[in-house]
Amino acid sequence: MKTNNVILETATKVILFIILLFSVYMFFAGHYEPGGGFIGGLMASGAIVLLLIAYDLKTVRKILPFDFKKVTALGLLFAAGTAAGGLFFDKPLLTHWFTYVYPPILGKMSLHTAVIFDTGVFLVVVGVTMTIIQTIGESE
């Protein structure tokens, strides 16, 4: 059932990127402002769901040719890898490390291993949501 919804399609093209950008912002702001991997991930998948509503499964598959199960697995690997990383420095499991750097122009920046962990969360959330929606959608 391919319906031509020009307004929705056009709007989606613009809004999609705004949402995605916002989700990335949310993700990185997470350590200081409201946000983080969960919200970022959910928002990104929300954007993809919007894409799904505006177009259809096949189009989305063409635009994003990932196997979302693998995205989930990759996310878990990120998270578990960060968790285990501490062990190599003779620290307990899940010990994070952070520092501040002062690159020119940008000013103070902080670097966290927690971000890698959160990336894992982000990827898992996107992967899981998309796996669920794609599988249900395709079963029709």
Partner 1 sequence: MEILMSLLIGVIFMSATYLMLSKSLLRIIVGTGLLSHGVHLLLLTMGGLKRGAAPLLGQQAEAYTDPLPQALILTAIVISFGITALFLVVAYRSYQELGTDNMELMRGKEGNE
Partner 2 sequence: MSLLHLAIIAPFILAIFVPSLHKALPKIHTGWFLLPLPIVLFSYFLSFLPQIIRGETTMETLNWIPSLGINFSARVDGLGLLFSLLITGIGALVVLYSIYYLSKEKEKLNQFYVYLLLFMGAMLGVVLSDNMVVLYGFWELTSFSSFLLIGYWNHRERSRYGAQKSMLITVFGGLSMLGGMILLYLMTGTFSISETIAMAATIYGHELFIPALICILLGAFTKSAQFPFHIWLPDAMEAPTPVSAYLHSATMVKAGIYLVARLTPVFALSGLWVWLVAGFGILTLFWGSFSAVKHNDLKGILAYSTISQLGLIMSLLGLGAAAIHYPAVEAGFYTVAVSAAVFHLINHATFKGSLFMMVGIVDHETGTRDIRKLGGLMSIMPITFTIAVIGSFSMAGLPPFNGFLSKEMFFTGMIRAQEIGFFNMETLGLIFPIVAWVASVFTFLYSMIIVFKTFTGKYQPEKLEVKPHEAPLGMLISPIILVSLVVVIGLFPNIVAPLINSVMASILPSLVAEGMKFDVHIYHWHGFTPELFMTIGVIVVGILLYKFMPRWTGIYNRMPEKFSLNSAYDNGLAGIQKGANRFTNAYMTNSIRTYLLYIFTFLILSLGTTLIVKNAFVLDTANVANIHAFELVLVIIIAIGSVSILFVKSRMTSIILLGSVGYAVSLFYAIFRAPDLALTQLVIETVSVALFLLAFYHLPKVNKNEEHMRFKMGNAVISIGVGVVVSLIALSAHSSKAFDSISQYYIENTYKKAGGENMVNVILVDFRGFDTLFEIAVLAIAALGIFSLIKLRLTRGKEQG
Can you give the binding site for partner 1, defined by CB under 8 A? Answer: 32-34, 38, 42, 125, 128, 132, 135-136, 139
With residue 70 as reference, give the H or E element that holds it. helix 68-88
Supply the minimum distance, in Å, between the C-beta of residue 75 and partner 1.
13
- Cβ pair 29, 43 in contact under 8 A: no
Strand blocks (E) in 3-135: 98-101, 109-112
- Residue 79 within binding range of partner 2, rule CB under 8 A: yes
Binding-site partner at residue 72 among partner 2, partner 1, none, CB < 5 to 8 Å by type: partner 2
Cβ closer to partner 2: 34 or 65?
34
- Separation of CA 4 from chain center: 29
Stretch binding partner 2 (CB under 8 A), from 5-13, 54-62, 91-99, 101-109? 91-99
Reported as half-sphere exposure (CB side, CA atoms, 13 A), residue 44 has a value of 25
Residue 64: closest CA among 49, 79, 42: 49
At 99, is the secondary structure helix, strand, or coil? strand
Concatenated DSSP letters of 1-14: -----HHHHHHHHH
Of the candidate spans 6-14, 27-35, 55-63, 101-109, the one that interacts with partner 2 by CB under 8 A turns out to be 27-35
Q: Does 4 bind partner 2 (CB under 8 A)?
A: no
Tokens 């919200």 map to which residue?
A: 39
- Residue ranges binding partner 2 (CB under 8 A): 26, 30-39, 42-43, 45-46, 49, 53, 69, 72-73, 75-76, 79-80, 83, 87-88, 90-94, 96, 98, 100, 110, 112, 114, 117-118, 120-121, 124-125, 127-129, 131-133, 135-140
